Each structure stands twice: as C-alpha cells, then as structure tokens.
Amino acid sequence: MYTEQHRVSYRIVWICFISCSFIVLSVYSAVQSWGNMGQVVLSTVAVFYAIVGVARLAVAIGNPAGCYRSIRLAEETYRQANGSDPGEQGVLAKYTALFSNSVALYTFCFMISVVMVTLMPFGFYLVRGERFLPLGIAIPFTDAGTPVGFWGTLAVQLVYIYAGPLALIPSQNIYFAFVFNICLQYELLIERLKQLDGTIRGAGGTKAWRVRDQLVKIIQFQQRSTNYITHIESFYHLQSFVEFLCNSLQVALTLNELHRSFWLPGFFILPVAMMQMLILCSLGTLIELKSDQFTDHLYGIAWSEMELPQQAMFKFVLKSAQQPARLTCGRFAVINMNLFLAIHKKIYSFFMMLQNV
C-alpha cells in the first residue's frame, strides 16, 4: 500500500519468497518430468508467470522513489485541473469512473479464473476419479502419485495460486491508473484548447492578454504531460519487455503442445496470455488516440486571429504535439495494436519452426 511517505511492509518479504520459490520449484519440476512433454511445457509456462511477477516486484522494490513520484505526479493532475469548469469536471469524472470500472472488472476476471483453476482438481476427482494438478510444480521428496503426495502437492499449489493475486492484481491496477492519467491529461489539454479557441474568437480589449495567459498554461501543462509520459516510460519499459516476451513464449509453447495432443491446461493458458498482451496494447493505442485528438484540435484553433507573439507560442505547442512521447516495449517498439499484430506474426513463425524441429 502506498502512502505519502515511503514505508516497508512485511508483506513484501512474503510476496518475494512466493515468487522466487515458485520459479525454483517450477524449474525443478521441469527437470524432474523431462521426457513428458506436456508436464515440461506446463512447468515452463508456470516459470514465465513467476518471471512476470518478479519483474513487477523489481520495478517497485528497485526504485521505490520512482513509484512514489509516479503517484504524486498522477495526483497533481487532479489538483491542477480547473474544478470550476464543467468541461474539465466532466473529464475528471469520466476517467475516475473508467479507472474504477477497469479495476473492478480486471480484479473480478482474475479472481474468477483463480477460483476456476482451484476447483478443477476437485471436479476431476469427484466426477472422473482422476487426480489432476493445476500447476506444473512438484514438491521435492514427494511422490504426487500417492494419495498423501497428491493432496500435499495440491495444497502447496493452492497456496501459490491464491498468493499470486497479491502481487499481480495491484501491480496491473496501478498501471491502469498511470495510463488513464496520461489520457486524462490529453483530454484536459483538449478542454483548454476549446477555452482558448473561444477566447480567440471572442471580442474584448483584454483578449490578447487572456490568449497569452491561456497559451502559457497550455504550454506548461503540455510539458508536464510529456515529462510524465517520459517518466512512466523509463519506469516501465523493461517490465513491458519482460511481459511481452513471457506471454509470447507462453502462447508459442502452448500452441505447439495443443498441436501435438489435447492438452487441457492450454485452453486456459492461451487466452490468458493473449488477453494480457491485448490489454497492454489496447492501453497504448488509447494513449495514441488521445494524442491524435489533441493534435486535431490544435489544427482547428483560429490561430490566424492571434497576434504574432502568440502565434509563435502556438507554433511551439503544435511542434511538441507532433512529436509525442510514447510508451514502448523495452524501447524496441511502441506499445499499440500494431505491436500486438507483429508479435503474433512472430509467434506463428516460432510455432512453425517448432513443428520442424
């Protein structure tokens, strides 16, 4: 939990232990089950989930000052908005509701999937009399083929399954907050452009002074928005690369195993991995759309009615808008739907290569 001052919680030790031990047990299980391709793939896929969790933890633990700065900058967006303007009030309410609904939906879907995974072993046992373990991890010196070994291994796996949301859900939700805050800033800029355009087209002896004052505020807010996106990008680009890499490998390995046989875990792993990449790319595309909308509104401003000094200021705003900051995947590619399509083309190529091995 983040507060105004940095503090260390004992829960972070438990989460780090869960993540690191999960990787160790998954690798151990893959080695132990070598020769059983389905079990090896399941253990390998499980490792990728843990790596994503470790990457998210590394971002928070490795740079706590950066975490707090990101949150403070997001809070300042609400403080700097003009609460007396109906347009800006509507934008704030819109994105607050969007963030709240996104958090609720993501958390609900994540927990539903967790519940489904935990109920599957009991369902198989009661309906078909089969012993089914949902995760690809085994406990050293324990034989999962015996009743005691099976139920002991299942109990440990359930602990890992329910501990995962402690790190994965909050880290994803805070990413929603940062991305929606970027979009919020673009929409506030659009509202201020509308106010500027109304001032330019209006009459009055103080129009030139008011236009200049509004332009100064727009420039300041635009520079703040650019700095915020740059900060979020520097903070998350490595994590994004790790997530895309792990999810891509999960999809490729799962497709390969499904091509070989009817592999039940694949019908859960495949949509989850693809959906995670789709969420990240959709958020990146949303930022691009808001940036384009801001640029389009700039072109609609009655700039020809400004005085020359104000036209020079407006040119600075337009030039900055034409070179917007973006969120990237390891600084190799911009995160958007084009990246989603490109990744799946690479996955298909990797999948075809596996077929020829």
Q: Is 355 within 8 Å of 259 (Cβ atoms)?
A: yes
187-199 mean pLDDT: 91
Residue 285 has pLDDT above 90, yes or no: yes
- The H-or-E segment that residue 328 falls in is strand 328-329
Distance CA 280, CA 284 (A): 6
The pLDDT of residue 304 is: 83
Kindly list the domain boundaries of the chain, sorted by start residue: 10-356
Task: Mention every residue, 6+ apart, whose C-beta is less than 8 A from residue 277.
Answer: 243, 244, 247, 248, 340, 343
Q: Residue 336 above 80 pLDDT? A: yes
Element (H, E) at 333: strand 333-334
For residue 2, name the pLDDT band (cuts at 50, 70, 90).
very low
Element (H, E) at 329: strand 328-329
- Of 26-35, 102-111, 214-223, 242-251, the one with minimum mean pLDDT is 26-35
Residue 162 tokens, joined: 């329910």
Torsion of CA 44, 257, 246, 119, to 10 degrees: -70
Percentage of residues in the chain with pLDDT exceeding 70? Answer: 95
Query: Over the stretch 14-61, which tens digit does the pLDDT of each residue have?
Result: 778 888 888 888 888 888 888 788 788 888 888 888 888 888 888 878
pLDDT, mean of residues 302-314: 86
8 A C-beta contact, residue 113 and residue 161: no
Which residues lie across from 334 on neighbouring strands? Answer: 328
Contact at 8 Å (CB) between 32 and 138? yes
Going by the DSSP 8-state scheme, the letter that residue 213 receives in this structure is: H
> Given a cut of 50, is residue 10 above it in pLDDT?
yes
By the 8 A CB rule, do 181 and 74 touch? Answer: yes
The pLDDT of residue 6: 58
Reported confidence tier of residue 7, pLDDT bands at 50, 70, 90:
low
Can you give the pLDDT at residue 157? 86
Tell me if 176 sits within 8 A of 82, measured CB to CB: no
For residue 283, pLDDT beyond 90:
yes
Instruction: Report CA torsion sign: 89, 95, 99, 101.
Output: positive
For residue 246, give the nearest of 28, 49, 37 by alpha carbon: 49
pLDDT reported for residue 8: 61
What residues contact residue 154 under an 8 Å CB cut-off, 6+ apart?
121, 133
* 233 CB neighbour count, 10 Å cutoff: 16
* pTM for the whole structure: 0.88
SS3 assignment, position 334: strand
Beta-ladder partners of 346: none
Contact predicate 153/141, CB 8 Å: no
How many other C-beta atoms are found inside a 10 Å radius of the C-beta of residue 345? 9
Phi, psi of 333 (to 5 degrees): -155, 150
Please say if the pLDDT value at position 182 is more than 90: yes
